[in-house]
Structure 1
Amino acid sequence: MRTYSLDDVHETRKRRDSWWTVYFVDPVACRVALPVANRTRITPNALTVLSLVLGAVSAACLAMNQLVAGAVVFYLSFMIDCVDGKVARLKGTGTPFGLWLDYVGDRIRVVLCAGGLAYGQYALTGEVAYVVLGAAVAVLDLFRYVNAPQMKRVREAVREERQGAAGPAAAPDDGPLGPALEPCGPPELEEDTQPLERVPRAPGFFRRLNRFLARHRVRSHLISGIEFHAAVFVIAPLAGAWALIPLATAAGALLLANEVFLVYRMWRFTRRHAVASSRESREHVLV
């Protein structure tokens, strides 16, 4: 059996990822993935199940008002969730079922922890605001992960329409969404694959910022589902019960603003694409 090095594990990291993962999770996950890959036969799917079990333990801790324990176990759950992907890429043992299991497991973990957090604080204080908080966290997370695949379908539809109109040899240089829209799928499932030089017409500051972030493997959209989860289930519980509603509200507002911004950019891009297609159709009729 091949022995892997830490450099091999580092090669399995996504080219660009969320800043929370890059700075606070990957340094631990890579070192955990190394002995798992070299000394065990644990499969990525088994790691995903372990991550889900830890997520359920975190939810139970939050429900019993053990906020610090819940935050620590949630972090461990997410870290193991990162380890499974690294082991799968390292050994080439990933499966389509594993992708589904990872995706669904993440959603179950968030719903359980949101419910546990809401129940624990409501039982302690009787404040309905915590019930609303738990429901809002679950709904916002589900919206994020329902919206992203639909945006991906739009991207694929535009790509197919372009290829159908221009022929297979005329694939666009700017990728399926062109320069106007970067990839927007779930962070766990899709890397930020848009090259830096494909973000034209942006002010110089933002180009420099994007290059700086890329050098550190950080995605240009700084608020995603991962940061949202970290704020609600790790940072806020560690800070104390007083921080739960303010931090969750702030993180949720930023995530929702990011989603609205991505949808707006997609709408503008599809509108330009429709105008261009209409113009090409008229020119074709005139010729």
Structure 2
Amino acid sequence: MRTYSLDDVFETRKRRDSWWTVYFVDPVACRVALPIANHTRLTPNALTVLSLVLGAVSATCFALNHHVAGAVVFYLSFMIDCVDGKIARLKGTGTPFGLWLDYVGDRVRVVLCAGGLAYGQYALTSDVRYVVLGAAVAVLDLFRYVNAPQMKRVREAVREERGERGPEPESDEDIDSLERVALVPRARRPRSFPRRFNRFLARHRVRSHLISGIEFHAAVFVVAPLAGAWALIPLAAAAGVLLLVNEVFLVYRMWRFTRRHGVPSSQESREHVLV
């Protein structure tokens, strides 16, 4: 059996990822993935199941109002969830079922932990705001992860129509770059602060979307519980608003892209792509 090095594991990191993952999870996940890859036969699916079990433990801690323990276990759950992807890419053992399991497991973990927080605080205080908090967190998470694949399908439909006119953008950053190239000639494009900032983030593997679902989870299930019960509602509300703003921005940018590179009117019936 091949022996992997830490550099091999580093190569499995995503080209760009959330800042929470890059700075607070990957440094641990890569070092955990190395002995798992070299000394165990754990599969990515087994790690995904372990992550889900830890998520259920975290939810139980929240329901019992052990917030610090719940936050620590949630972090471990998410870290193991990152390890399973690294093992899959390192050994080439990823499967379509594994993708589904990982996706559904993440949603189940969030719903369980949101319910645990809401139940624990409501049982302790009888404050209905915590019930609203749990429901809002679950709904926002589901919206984020239902909206994302639909936007991806829209982009793929547009890319298919543009296939003969240039390379296909591989990410939201590529789409944004294509828009700027189309709007401003290369020789005259200004080196604006947003462009310099995006390049800085890219050098550090950080996505330009600084508030995503991952940061939302970290704020609600790690940072707020560690800060104390008083922080649950204000931090969750602030993170939720920032997540919604990010989603609106992504939808707006997708709309701009489809307006400029959209499907010709003769093929407007392609809206069935989204069904």
Fold conserved (TM > 0.5)?
yes
The corresponding residue for 1:111 is 111
Following TM superposition, the consecutive aligned residue runs of length 4 or more in structure 1 with deviations greater than 4 angstroms are 195-199
Measured in 2, the distance between the counterparts of 1:143 and 1:278 equals 30
How far did 1:231 drift? Answer: 0.1
Report if aligned partners of 2:179, 2:257 keep a CA contact under 8 Å in 1: no
Same amino acid, percent of matched pairs = 82
Paired letter, 1:173: P
2-structure distance, mates of 1:132, 1:109: 18
Q: State TM-score, norm by structure 1.
A: 0.86
- What's the counterpart of residue 269 of structure 2? none
Instruction: Report the equivalent of 2:221.
Output: 233
The 5 A counterparts of 1:96-245 are: 96-163=96-163, 170-173=164-167, 175=169, 182-183=171-172, 194=174, 198=178, 200=180, 204-245=192-233
1:22 counterpart residue number = 22
Contact 1:3–1:38 (Cα < 8 Å) also in 2: yes
Shifted more, 201-210 versus 41-50: the winner is 201-210
TM-score, length basis structure 2 = 0.89
- Quote the offset at 1:159 in angstroms: 1.5
Q: In the alignment, which residue of structure 2 is the partner of 1:283?
A: none
**SS of the residue aligned with 2:162?**
helix
**CA–CA distance in structure 1, aligned partners of residues 176 and 244 of structure 2:** 25
Deviations 1:58-103 (CA, angstroms, capped at 9, x unpaired): 0000000000000000000000000000011011111111000000
The answer on whether the counterparts of 2:169 and 2:175 sit within 8 Å (CA) in structure 1 is no
Q: Which amino acid aligns with 1:7?
A: D
* Contact 1:236 1:248 (8 Å CA) reproduced: yes
Q: Cα gap change, 1:58/1:43 in structure 2, threshold over 3 Å: closer, same or farther?
A: same
- Aligned CA-pair RMSD: 1.9
Out of 247, 254, 263, the position equivalent to 1:266 is 254
Letter in 2 for 1:151: M
Q: Distance in 2 between matches of 1:159 and 1:122?
A: 48
SS in 2 for 1:223: coil
Question: What is the alpha-carbon distance in structure 2 between the residues aligned to residue 43 and residue 80 of structure 1?
Answer: 12
How many residue pairs match? The answer is: 258
Map of 2:42 onto structure 1:
42
The answer for the alignment partner of 2:2 in structure 1 is 2
